[in-house]
Amino acid sequence: MASLLLRKTLCLNQLRTIHRSAVAFSVPITFNVYQNRRKFDEVLPEVMDTLMTSPKFTQQLPEVGEWVKKLLTYTMHGGKRGRGLSVPFAYQKLEDPEYFTEDKLHTARFIGWGIEMLQASILAVDDVIDASTTRRGQTCWYLQPDVGTSAVNDCLLIFHCLMELIDIKFGKEPIYSDLVKLFNEGFMYTTIGQYLDYVSGYSKAKNNLHTFTMERFNAVAVKKTGYYSFKLPLFAALLLVKNGKERDITELGSICYEFGKILQFQNDYKDLYWDEARSGKAGTDIQEGKLTWIAVTALERCNEAQRSIFEEYYGSKDPEHVKRIKQLYEELQIEEAFESNLSILQLFDYTLEGGKRGKGLAVPFAYQKMEDPQHFTEEKLHSARFLGWCIEMLHGSLLAADDIIDGSTTRRGKPCWYLQPDVGSYAINDCLLMNHSILELVEIKYGNEPLYTDFVKINNESVLYTTFGEYLDHSLRYSKEKNNLDGFTMDRFNTIAAHKTGCSFRSAVLVGLLLVKDGKERDITELSNICLEFGKLLQFQNDYKDIYWDEDSSGKAGTDIQEGKVSWLAVTALERSNEAQRSIFKEYYGSKDPEHVKRIKQLYDELKIEEVYQKFKNSYYESLEHRIRALPREGETEFFLEILEACRKQIF
């Protein structure tokens, strides 16, 4: 499960965004904001009208059309619309802006409703099989008056209404056959998953607990949930994207299946631990003897006596037997095990959300620019993107630690991780967890390749030097008690910046070079030095933003004055101060008193620090550009010049 969570977190940022609704965390769900949901809902009447005006319905007895309308209205009522909304959102995110059209976005919404119809059909039959009583906060369809077992026919009817809808709307379009294949595949795989889900259930008569394995759970989850919930919406959207059919979709499909596993184990948790009002469905997994993540995990933890209890009571509808299984889960601390897995996922989602992705993007960009075109491969570019996410994880862990040390309140426009409920000082452990998860992830992916040991060395060296920088940044801070302004020199600032900021950028470049043919044989001395210069550049720009940018613009509340930081601004101010001004600095710098902070900012104004900064910045950029242009390889020069321009535009 740990590797599953790691893989889910890191693979393709677009997929993380598209399917964020799969995880019930309090994070922005862009595709489910009001306006997107409203525009999606506005298409439903068009869907119904298109279907109801089909000759296949108008030529029937009137009650047929009325029944279908009632059936679709009831079974598609409520729900989060996650699968349907994924189609237009995927189209928006995956299409090149040059080829994006509102017509295709509308078509994506229409197809999204097709997926909602498929979902309605699947859920209706699932309720019959599981003998459920409620779905989405209302009585299951098969329990409606005059429905009963005819719900089985209704499930088929919904699906073939969907196919009729596709035929009417897209029958003469090039995407028709592909859509039909996708929806047929989606229904087939889901019914296979339903079959596996049903036959895998435990009963004393079958005595089949030996089949309760995580491998089998994963197989069921992929078929039952992964395909129609994730792969179908994404691949349907790709049909609308220019050249979408030409993309390598192997890894996309695999990632969608991983999402399916995650969604399934969350559903298993909700069945047991959420009440009916919250989940919209009465829990029946214990009574039905279901092969769930919770049941498998419990069996993995059971001793012989506990396993006997499980064998005796699991799969029984007797309320006392259900109660005993729940007690067993408590004894085995199953809820804690689930929360542990979920908290890892939440940690990665929260700390990796937002940001410019500069260091992560630098890895594939370095590979593209520094590789000889005759040796360039898409496979290695994909590896570079994968490793870029590892660099982003490293960056996220370092920022989370930095926020604790600095006592920061916001990061990337939201409260710092350590300020989240139930996190606090445990964030320290979380930073370590993230860092070691990187190594676990790379071992899973590249453990048998030479790249693995090289990456580990680069990662460890980066963390080592960055922690050196953090130590210096913290220990050299000024306070009246320490009276240590003699340590505020440009040499000290440069050392801190090179270690704290430059080394993490250098690691991204070196990782990119690991994928370049003969990249390890290059003389990287000057490349490394230029990376460290970028560290200084980024640091003095960050110091400037801490003072002169508001929180909305920078995504972080400024604290450098309050923390007594050895910043470029502070060192420059001291270099320009007379004795009286230096006394003011000594008196008020490093204080959290708002009036003291205000007085230091006034001192900066008196010393014209902002004007000095602009002149220094322009000179630094010019000098660094000259140095970059002197590099011997064209690809290296192009890479660093584009990074320099990104820094200039504040997008790196």
Closest to 442 measured CA to CA, from 12, 8, 7: 7
pLDDT for the residue 177 = 87
Place of tokens 């989240």: 420
Write the DSSP string, 114-139.
HHHHHHHHHHHHHHHHHT-SEETTEE
Contacts 24+ apart (CB under 8 A), 628-633: 628/530, 631/526, 631/527, 631/530, 633/370
* Counted domains in the chain: 2
Q: Which residues pair with 410 in a beta bridge?
A: 415
Q: What is the 3-state secondary structure (H, E, C) of 355-417?
A: CCCHHHHHHHHHHHHHCCCCCCCHHHHHHHHHHHHHHHHHHHHHHHHHHHHHCCCEECCEECH
Buried b (16+ CB within 10 A) or exposed e, 72-102: bebbbeebebbbbbbbbbbbbbbbeeeeeee
Domain boundary among 295, 316, 344: 344
> pLDDT at residue 26 above 50?
no
Q: Is residue 128 part of a domain?
A: yes
Please state, in angstroms and rounded to a whole number, the distance separating the CA atoms of residues 506 and 535: 9
In a domain, 446, yes or no: yes
- The 10 Å Cβ neighbour count of residue 557 is 15
- Let me know whether 102 and 15 are in one domain: yes
- In a shared domain, residues 489 and 392: yes
Check whether 444 has a pLDDT greater than 80.
yes
Mean pLDDT for 422-433 is 73
Asked whether residue 202 is domain-assigned, the answer is yes
Where are the alpha helices (H) located in 487-554, listed in sequence order?
Answer: 490-497, 503-514, 525-548, 551-554
pLDDT at 198: 82
Q: What domain range is 434 assigned to?
A: 354-648
On whether both 58 and 198 belong to a single domain, the answer is yes
Within this chain, do residues 155 and 128 fall inside the same structural domain, yes or no?
yes
More confident call, 486 vs 152: 486
Q: What does the alpha-carbon distance between residue 136 and residue 76 come to, in Å, rounded to a whole number?
A: 9
What is the DSSP pairing of strand 134-135 with strand 138-139?
A: antiparallel
Please report, for residues 50, 65, 164, 181, 353, the alpha-carbon distance to residue 54 in angstroms, rounded to integers and kept in the order given: 7, 10, 8, 22, 46
Residue 67 belongs to a domain = yes
Q: Could you tell me if 90 and 234 are in contact, meaning their C-beta atoms sit under 8 angstroms apart?
A: yes
**167, pLDDT greater than 70:** yes
Say if residue 369 is in the same domain as residue 339.
Answer: no
Res 339: pLDDT: 66
Instruction: Count Cβ atoms within 10 A of the Cβ of residue 429 and give its class: 0-12 exposed, 13-18 middle, 19 or more buried.
Output: exposed
Contacts of 327 (CB under 8 A, 6+ apart): none
Crossing angle of the two packed helices 334-352 and 250-273, in degrees rounded to 10: 130
Residue 235: burial class (beta carbons within 10 Å; 0-12, 13-18, 19+): buried
Residue 599 lies in a domain: yes
Write the DSSP symbol of residue 22: G
pLDDT digits (tens, 9 = 90+) for 50-91: 999 888 888 887 888 888 899 999 999 888 888 899 999 999
The two tokens of residue 616 are 């220094």
pLDDT attached to residue 27: 31
Shared domain for 415 and 519, answered yes or no, is yes
Report d(CA 151, CA 146) in Å as an integer.
10
Joined tokens for residue 180: 């039909």
Reply yes or no on whether the pLDDT at 602 is more than 90.
yes
**Integer CA distances (angstroms), 498 to 40, 261, 265, 428, 505, in order:** 49, 42, 44, 24, 10
DSSP 227: I
Q: Please check whether residues 444 and 509 belong to one and the same domain.
A: yes
Question: Which of the residue ranges 171-185, 302-316, 326-340 would you say has the lowest mean pLDDT?
Answer: 326-340
* Mean per-residue pLDDT, 319-338: 88
pLDDT at residue 597 in the model: 95
CATH number at residue 360: 1.10.600.10
Query: 144 — phi, psi (to 5°)?
Result: -70, 150
CA atoms in the 13 A half-sphere facing the CB of 535:
27
pTM (whole model) above 0.95: no
Domain end among 306, 323, 344:
344
Whole-number pLDDT of residue 7: 40
pLDDT > 70: percent of the chain: 90
Which pLDDT belongs to residue 348? Answer: 62
Torsions phi, psi of 138, nearest 5?
-135, 165
The pLDDT-based confidence of 563 (bands split at 50, 70, 90) is: very high
Residue 308 lies in a domain: yes
Closest CA to 442 of 535, 511, 530, 496: 511
Q: For residues 513 and 524, give the distance between their C-alpha atoms in angstroms, rounded to a whole number.
A: 10
pLDDT tens-place string over residues 505-536: 899 999 999 999 988 888 899 999 999 999 99
Q: Is 609 exposed, middle or buried (0-12, 13-18, 19+ CB in 10 A)?
A: buried
Answer whether 498's CB lies under 8 Å from 469's CB: yes
What is the three-class DSSP state of 477?
Answer: coil
Whether residue 617 sits in one domain with residue 494: yes
Indicate whether 374 and 246 sit together in one domain.
Answer: no
pLDDT in tens, 176-215: 989 998 998 888 888 888 888 888 889 888 889 999 999 9
Stretch 540-552: mean pLDDT, rounded?
90
Tell whether 349 is covered by a domain.
Answer: no
C-alpha–C-alpha distance, residues 310 and 331, integer Å = 12
Measure Cα distances from 374 to 54, 370, 448 in Å: 56, 12, 26
The candidate with the shortest Cα–Cα distance to 164, out of 150, 179, 174, is: 179
What is the CA angle 603-608-611, rounded to 5? 145
Q: Residues 336, 362: one domain?
A: no
Instruction: Say if residue 479 is in the same domain as residue 362.
Output: yes
279 vs 231 pLDDT, higher one: 231
16 and 87, same domain (yes or no): yes
Asked if residue 129 belongs to a domain, the reply is: yes
Last residue of a domain, one of 344, 375, 403: 344
Token pair 């989940």 in the structure block, residue:
279
User: Among the ranges 5-19, 414-428, 622-636, which has the highest mean pLDDT value?
Assistant: 622-636
The candidate with the shortest Cα–Cα distance to 545, out of 532, 559, 535, is 559
Backbone dihedral region of 333: left (phi > 0), alpha (psi from -120 to 50 degrees) or beta? left
* Structure token digits, residue 531: 């990376």
Share of the chain above pLDDT 90, in %: 45
Mean pLDDT (the chain, rounded): 85
Enumerate residues 6+ apart whose C-beta is below 8 A from 271: 279, 281, 283, 284, 285, 292
- Rounded mean pLDDT, 470-487: 89
612: pLDDT confidence band, cut at 50, 70 and 90? very high
